[in-house]
């Protein structure tokens, strides 16, 4: 499973790039608004320079297929590694089909059910973003729905990759991998939590303590 970072914050993007384990970036209108930078094109172009050979998702805001297609084609002039993020829906799938025909990569977002995932894959989506956390937030089991999507699409040779999104904690990441997701896009806070284990930290401390005691003897 590939690990992406889910943010538009340039400092977080630079930190994620330095870790050596992150291979892509997803943004959305909320994450871009949080940066407070009104020059969205410049922000996305900067992200694409920090991750030059990795998928970087930029979401359309139009409601109709024509507008989504127009936006998506424009995004591809910003950088060569942009994936056009399209909210699921009738108009969205029309746009995904048209953009796919133009050879433009897409990320279908706000997917919550196997039925939606089947339609997104049929439209030619490159990524299908299933929102685990938001399903959990309303008392549904986000990972079960995601596992069902992975299983359903795995029966056929669709070109779509399942991207676990709306990740709330490290267990979501582990469970997404266990479910066979192709990608998980993770907030920086959760990425940092993935590294932590008390036994690793205490083990390092005791190795250092024992070595310093031993080293003292040698010297």
Size of the site for ligand G3P (CB under 6 A): 9
Per CB under 6 A, the list member of 86, 98, 149, 165 interacting with ligand G3P is 165
Q: Which of 185, 190, 183 is nearest to 168 (CA)?
A: 190
Binding mask 25-54 for ligand G3P (x = CB under 6 A): -x-x--------------------------
Residue 34 annotated among the catalytic residues of the structure:
no
The values of phi and psi at residue 77, to 5°, are -85, -10
* Candidate segments 13-21, 98-106, 128-136, 171-179, binder of ligand G3P by CB under 6 A: 128-136
The residues, any chain, with a CB within 8 Å of residue 150's CB and separated by 6 or more, are: 162, 179, 180, 181
Please select the residue that binds ligand G3P; options are 76, 81, 130, 166, rule is CB under 6 A.
166
Binds ligand G3P by CB under 6 A, chosen from 3, 6, 107, 161: 6
CB of 107 to ligand G3P, least distance (A): 9
Question: How far does CA 193 lie from the centroid of its chain?
Answer: 17
Least spacing, CB of residue 27 vs ligand G3P, in Å:
7
Single out the residue of 88, 142, 185, 191 in contact with ligand G3P (rule: CB under 6 A): 185
Q: Of 85, 94, 192, 209, which residue is the catalytic one? A: 85
Q: Is 106 in the site for ligand G3P (CB under 6 A)?
A: no
**Exposed (0-12), middle (13-18) or buried (19+): which is 2, by Cβ within 10 Å?**
middle
Q: Mind telling me the catalytic residues? A: 85
């Amino acid at each position: 499973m590939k690990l992406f970072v889910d943010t538009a914050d340039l400092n977080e993007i630079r930190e994620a790039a330095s870790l050596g384990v992150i291979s892509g970036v997803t943004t959305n209108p909320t994450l871009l608004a949080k940066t407070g930078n009104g020059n969205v094109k410049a922000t996305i172009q900067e992200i694409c320079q920090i991750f030059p050979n990795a998928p970087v998702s930029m979401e359309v805001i139009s409601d109709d297929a024509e507008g989504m297609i127009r936006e998506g084609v424009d995004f591809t002039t910003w950088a060569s590694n942009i994936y056009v993020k399209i909210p699921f829906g009738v108009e969205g799938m029309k746009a995904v089909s048209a953009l796919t025909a133009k050879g433009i990569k897409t990320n279908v977002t706000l997917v919550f059910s196997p039925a939606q995932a089947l339609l997104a894959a049929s439209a030619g989506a490159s990524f299908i973003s299933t929102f685990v956390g938001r399903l959990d937030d309303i008392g549904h089991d986000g990972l079960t729905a995601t596992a069902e999507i992975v299983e359903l699409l795995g029966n056929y040779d669709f070109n779509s990759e399942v991207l676990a999104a709306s990740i709330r904690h490290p267990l979501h990441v582990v469970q997404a991998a266990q479910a066979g997701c192709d990608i998980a896009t993770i907030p920086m806070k959760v990425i940092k939590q993935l590294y932590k284990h008390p036994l690793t930290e205490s083990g390092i401390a005791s190795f250092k303590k024992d070595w310093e005691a031993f080293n003292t003897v040698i010297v």
